[in-house]
Structures are given as structure tokens and as C-alpha cells.
């Protein structure tokens, strides 16, 4: 990226640019970006309000977390850098497959929480000392839960059939049964702890192994089996498809 992302404000500005790009070219990846921007803005405001035990460390953590997504997106577009397979799946799906807004959001959340959150936490603390980040990690989890609740309320307006797909998914599809944000955040902490104690070579192996598992889950989200596939197809026909309208509905200022 041309401008270094070393502050939360810089990360938010980069996300604004990405949303504008998505609107210009009709990229459904903007759905995740606008929701994640709201999360990042909320963390920035929480730091300013002193909500975290170590605000300086929290900003470093949040910037590392945001850069995982922003770097993956920039590398995907330029073709000049590494892109985790779980993010590659999300970007390819946004570019080539017609999916529900919910599916696009879940693909981004899947890669960012199940892979990036643990990696960023391990990077933000000294090797072997990730426990120093535990209290603030739990606080940012509360922020994520709060924003997901808001996202679900917004989805009800832009994708009213999502509720019926969720019901079907909970009954029939393993991917949606196992995709629990609460569980994902807990797993992310365990992953961060494991990475923190690992050597650089071990970290690379653990991240690749984790990425493969996250990608497998993402594949089930992007291409659900029957009968959920039929429910998704029916919901797509009733969903709003105006990109600007949906992104505005998801919280764009």
C-alpha cells in the first residue's frame, strides 16, 4: 500500500478508500469492509475513552489486526504478494460468485477472526508473553460481539430472508453450525497462545495449517450443500442487489 498503515486512523482511511473502490467497480467485498470499518472506528473511540488496560498496546494490536486484512486485499488486487487461502476464497467469491450478503460477510469474518485475530495478538505481544494482552483481547471481543449484533439488525433490512437461511443452516449445514463467533474468538486466543510460544519456523507451519482449516470452513460457507443451497438460491432472488444501497444499509457514513 502506498501509505503506511501505522495508526488506527490510517487503517480507517484505507478502509474508506477500499469501500469507494468497491462501489466504483461493483465489488461485493465492500460489504465486509464497511462492517469492519465500524469495528475499527469503535476500537479507536474506545482507546480515546480509556476503555482498555493498555491503550498503546491496544492500538498496536488493532493496527496489526487491520493490516492483515488490508495487506491481503492489496496483495490480491496487485498480484504481487502473499494472500492467505482463506482470504483468497473470500476475494474470489466476491468477484465471481453471486452469494447472499450474509455469505460474503461470513467469509470475511471467517478469515479475519479464525486466522488473523490470533496471528495479530501473537505479533502484538513479546514472544511467550501474550498473556499480557489477555484483558484487552477480551475487551475487543466484546466490541466484536456488539458490532455483529448491529450487523445482524442491518441485515434484516437488506436481506429479509436471511433469517430463514439461518434456520435451515442450523438444522442442516455443518459450516453454519460450527461457525460461532464466540467459539471463534476463544479459539483465536488459544491459537495466539500457541503461536506466541513457537519459533518463527513453527509459526509459519502453524499459520499455514490454520489457514487450510479456515479455508475449508469458508468453502462450506460459500458453497453450502443441499438443502441449504436451495434456501440460499430462494433468498438471493428476494435480496436487494444495489451495492450502494446495501453498503449504506450496513452502516456506511
Of 196 and 181, which is predicted with more confidence? 196
Question: Can you give the residue range of the structural domain that contains 174?
Answer: 8-249
Residue 158 has pLDDT above 70, yes or no: no
- CA 86 to chain CA centroid, nearest Å: 11
Residue 149 lies in a domain: yes
Check the CA dihedral 221-166-174-232 and report its sign: negative
Tell me how many degrees the CA angle 203-68-83 measures, rounded to the nearest 5: 80
pTM value?
0.84
Mean pLDDT of the chain: 81
**How many residues in the chain?**
253
Kindly report the number of other CB atoms within 10 A of residue 74's CB atom: 18
The owner of cell 492500538 is 59
Check the CA dihedral 84-144-176-243 and report its sign: negative
Residue 73 lies in a domain: yes
Residue 184 lies in a domain: yes
Q: Tell me the per-residue pLDDT of 6-65, one tens digit each, with 9 for 90 and over.
A: 999 999 999 999 999 988 988 888 889 988 998 899 999 999 999 888 899 899 999 999
Residue 173 has pLDDT above 50, yes or no: no
Number of domains in the chain: 1
Residue 56 lies in a domain: yes
Could you tell me if 111 and 118 are in contact, meaning their C-beta atoms sit under 8 angstroms apart?
no
CA dist 156 → 64, 164, 239, 243 (Å): 32, 11, 10, 16
Q: Tell me the per-residue pLDDT of 81-125, one tens digit each, with 9 for 90 and over.
A: 899 999 999 999 988 767 777 788 889 989 998 999 999 999 998
The owner of cell 478508500 is 17
Q: Tell me the per-residue pLDDT of 184-233, one tens digit each, with 9 for 90 and over.
A: 778 899 999 999 999 999 999 999 999 999 999 899 888 776 555 545 55
- CA–CA separation, 89 vs 228, rounded Å? 20
Residue 170 lies in a domain: yes
Residue 75 has pLDDT above 60, yes or no: yes
Residue 37 lies in a domain: yes
Residue 1 lies in a domain: no
Residue 202 lies in a domain: yes
Amino acid at each position: 500500500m502506498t501509505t503506511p498503515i501505522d495508526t488506527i486512523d490510517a487503517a480507517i482511511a484505507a478502509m474508506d478508500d477500499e469501500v469507494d473502490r468497491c462501489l466504483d467497480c461493483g465489488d461485493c467485498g465492500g460489504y465486509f469492509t464497511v462492517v469492519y470499518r465500524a469495528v475499527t472506528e469503535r476500537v479507536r473511540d474506545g482507546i480515546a475513552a480509556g476503555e482498555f488496560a493498555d491503550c498503546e498496546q491496544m492500538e498496536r494490536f488493532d493496527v496489526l489486526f487491520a493490516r492483515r486484512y488490508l495487506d491481503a486485499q492489496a496483495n490480491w488486487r496487485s498480484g504481487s504478494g502473499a494472500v492467505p487461502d482463506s482470504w483468497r476464497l473470500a476475494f474470489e467469491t466476491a468477484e465471481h460468485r453471486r452469494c447472499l450478503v450474509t455469505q460474503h460477510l461470513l467469509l470475511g469474518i471467517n478469515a479475519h477472526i479464525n486466522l488473523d485475530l490470533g496471528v495479530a495478538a501473537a505479533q502484538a505481544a513479546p514472544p511467550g508473553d501474550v498473556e499480557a494482552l489477555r484483558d484487552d483481547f477480551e475487551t475487543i471481543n466484546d466490541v466484536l460481539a456488539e458490532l455483529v449484533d448491529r450487523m445482524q439488525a442491518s441485515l434484516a433490512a437488506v436481506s429479509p430472508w436471511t433469517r430463514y437461511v439461518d434456520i435451515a443452516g442450523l438444522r442442516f449445514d455443518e459450516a453454519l453450525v460450527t461457525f460461532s463467533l464466540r467459539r471463534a474468538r476463544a479459539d483465536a486466543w488459544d491459537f495466539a497462545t500457541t503461536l506466541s510460544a513457537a519459533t518463527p519456523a513453527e509459526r509459519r507451519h502453524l499459520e499455514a495449517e490454520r489457514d487450510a482449516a479456515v479455508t475449508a470452513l469458508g468453502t462450506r460457507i460459500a458453497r453450502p450443500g443441499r438443502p441449504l443451497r436451495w434456501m440460499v438460491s430462494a433468498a438471493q432472488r428476494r435480496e436487494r442487489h444495489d451495492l450502494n444501497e446495501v453498503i449504506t444499509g450496513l452502516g456506511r457514513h
